């Protein structure tokens, strides 16, 4: 704090001599409190010392409390949160575009065309996964994509694909240590209308085209990812009981000129498996958006 001083203004009158020589009034009766005996010096030193100690420990306690409340729950020993089943994916980033090419949902791309390499828009495999050598993230024929559907439906879907003439198809698959198998396919068409038209053919007459090993499906009521990525549409299904050899979940993403299919299957009825499936759907949708 800065000490302030006030100087007398220039030209101010000097105090009168009588004021300087004013008599001093005699002191009044002594203050009883002032007359009380003072405590010994060592008592005062002890009080000061313990006051300082209390202040230091109080500050340390407050600092510790602040540190814990500002930490994540998983950073505090003994308060770690149990894993909810999510997989550990590598850090994601959008691929580079050709010079002058816009992103699919930018103002300069009203047709919502993906100009990036379609292979770079596939979600990478998570940590611990064993990658499928046949679905390694490269170009794939439509036969690989059609193999995911029930045999009796493949001919009709193949005919529709020929009519819509898709430009490219890519695929990636992997298996996790717990036996969960995931396959992702991306099919790029010549326009947004063609991609949506093929999606409509998959849900013709309100009934979703069944996948191989999952003849009966229903909309996944646990899915809350719809609308999270602007400009995209998602359709998510779960197999109904009785399950086949494996329980199958699958979902579609329509993003501009590209349609994506995510299929996940595993033996057993583990409902917690819906967490990594929904996680995979959301991340793949973000890459396409």
**Strand, coil or helix: 268:** coil
What's the pLDDT at 268?
78
Residue carrying the six token digits 């009785």: 242
Backbone angles phi, psi at 150, to 5 degrees: -60, 140
Pair of tokens at residue 265: 């299957």
Task: Write down the pLDDT at residue 271.
Answer: 60
3-state helix, strand, coil in the chain (%, to 5): 35, 20, 45
pLDDT of residue 205: 63
CA distance 174 to 176: 7
**Does residue 172 contact residue 184 with C-beta atoms inside 8 Å?**
yes
The two three-digit tokens of residue 216, written as one number? 């009966």
Q: Is the pTM of this model over 0.85?
A: no
Cα separation, 78 vs 29, whole angstroms: 67
Q: Report the DSSP beta bridge partners of residue 239.
A: 217
Q: Within 13 A of 268's CA, how many CA atoms are on the CB side?
A: 10
145: helix, coil or strand? helix
Q: How many other C-beta atoms lie within 10 A of the C-beta of residue 154?
A: 17
Kindly give the confidence (pLDDT) of every residue in the chain, 289 residues in length, as a single tens digit, with 9 standing for 90 and above: 444 444 444 444 444 434 333 443 444 444 444 444 555 544 444 444 444 434 443 443 443 333 333 334 343 443 444 567 899 999 999 999 999 899 998 888 999 999 999 999 999 999 999 999 999 999 999 999 999 999 999 999 999 999 999 999 999 999 999 999 999 999 999 999 999 999 999 988 667 899 998 989 999 988 988 888 989 999 999 999 888 889 999 999 999 999 999 999 998 766 657 899 999 999 999 999 8
Report residue 250 as tokens: 């699958």
The answer to whether residues 273 and 258 touch, using CB atoms and an 8 Å cutoff, is no
Mutual angle of helices 192-202 and 151-164, in 10-degree steps: 160
| Cβ(158)–Cβ(142) below 8 Å | yes
CA atoms lying within 13 Å on the CB side of residue 228 = 17
């Amino acid at each position: 704090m800065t000490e302030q001083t006030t100087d007398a203004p220039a030209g101010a009158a000097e105090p009168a001599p009588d004021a300087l020589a004013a008599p001093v009034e005699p002191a009044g009766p002594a203050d009883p409190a002032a007359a009380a005996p003072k405590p010994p010096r060592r008592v005062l030193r002890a009080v000061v010392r313990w006051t300082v100690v209390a202040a230091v420990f109080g500050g340390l306690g407050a600092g510790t409390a602040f540190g814990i409340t500002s930490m994540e729950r998983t950073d505090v020993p003994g308060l770690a949160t149990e894993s909810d089943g999510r997989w550990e994916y590598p850090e994601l980033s959008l691929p580079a575009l050709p010079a002058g090419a816009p992103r699919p949902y930018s103002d300069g791309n009203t047709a919502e065309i993906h100009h990036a390499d379609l292979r770079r828009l596939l979600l990478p495999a998570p940590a611990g996964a064993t990658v499928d050598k046949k679905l390694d993230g490269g170009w794939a024929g439509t036969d690989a994509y059609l193999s995911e559907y029930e045999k009796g439906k493949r001919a009709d879907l193949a005919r529709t694909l020929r009519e819509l003439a898709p430009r490219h198809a890519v695929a990636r698959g992997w298996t996790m240590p717990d036996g969960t198998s995931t396959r992702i396919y991306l099919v790029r068409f010549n326009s947004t209308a063609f991609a949506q038209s093929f999606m409509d053919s998959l849900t013709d007459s309100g009934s979703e085209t069944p996948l191989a090993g999952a003849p009966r499906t229903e909309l996944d009521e646990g899915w809350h990812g719809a609308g999270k990525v602007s400009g995209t549409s998602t359709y998510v299904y779960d197999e109904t009981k009785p399950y086949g050899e494996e329980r199958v979940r699958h979902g579609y993403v329509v993003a501009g000129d590209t349609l994506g299919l995510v299929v996940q299957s595993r033996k057993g009825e583990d409902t917690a498996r819906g967490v990594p499936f929904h996680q995979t759907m959301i991340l793949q949708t973000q890459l396409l958006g």
